[in-house]
Amino acid sequence: MRILVVEDEPRMAELLRRGLTEEGHAIVVARDGREGLSLAETASFDLLLLDVMLPGADGFTIVRRVRARQIQTPILMLTARDAIRDIIEGLNLGADDYLTKPFSFQELFARVRSAARRGPIAQPVSLRVADLSLNQGTREVRRGFRPVTLTRTEYAILELLMRNAGRVLSRDSLIESVWGHADIENNTLDAFMRLLRGKVEAPGEPKLLHTIRGVGFMLRAEES
């Protein structure tokens, strides 16, 4: 894969470049946020690895700008900040995953492989649960007449839940299906589910996304 690494700390940037190159990837390194943003907007990459704390433009700004331009390249954020509010902010802006420092390179490599396994949708299919609809051809999601705007990972989770409507999906199965076999941060799935629930269940709308305590999650219409 062709990967853009945006990391201002020279030692970490070199470790990432060397390790990912040894894994067979083509690596481009940007040492500040402005350079990283320019490359992300003008060049083609298969994955973006972004530090959060960057000079020029921070990682959150890069994610916001990239997604605003409808660039759907997978984004993995690398940071020493692990507060739940920072995780939620990054994911809500459109990042696909969040890895806090220090991390093992084996975990990083596994997440990179997971991003590579995500392929395009094979054919247009419309899924519906109650008044929630998802068109896999256009990736359009609606709750009744209300459009629902989702990030790449929120969409992947919702699609999986809708394909299995009425069935409980365990946390492990959701993580494996969406992120591959890589472990994710403890709060990442919960953060995504919180964001997704806020988008598909506006105030006054019937509940669709249910938490099954100790097991996982299920999408189903509440019985009237």
Class (C level, CATH) for 2-117: alpha beta
**pLDDT tens for residues 141-162?**
999 999 999 998 899 899 889 9
105-128 mean pLDDT: 71
Tens of pLDDT along 52-93?
989 999 999 999 988 888 788 889 988 776 667 777 888 888
CATH topology of domain 126-219: Arc Repressor Mutant, subunit A (1.10.10)
Q: Are 218 and 166 in contact (CB under 8 A)?
A: yes
What DSSP string describes 173-222?
Answer: HHHHHHHTTS---TTHHHHHHHHHHHHHS-TTSPP-EEEETTTEEEE-PP
Q: Domain extents for the chain?
A: 2-117, 126-219
- How sure is the predictor about 119, in pLDDT bands with cuts at 50, 70 and 90? very low
Residue 116: per-residue pLDDT: 64
What mean pLDDT is predicted for residues 154-182? Answer: 82
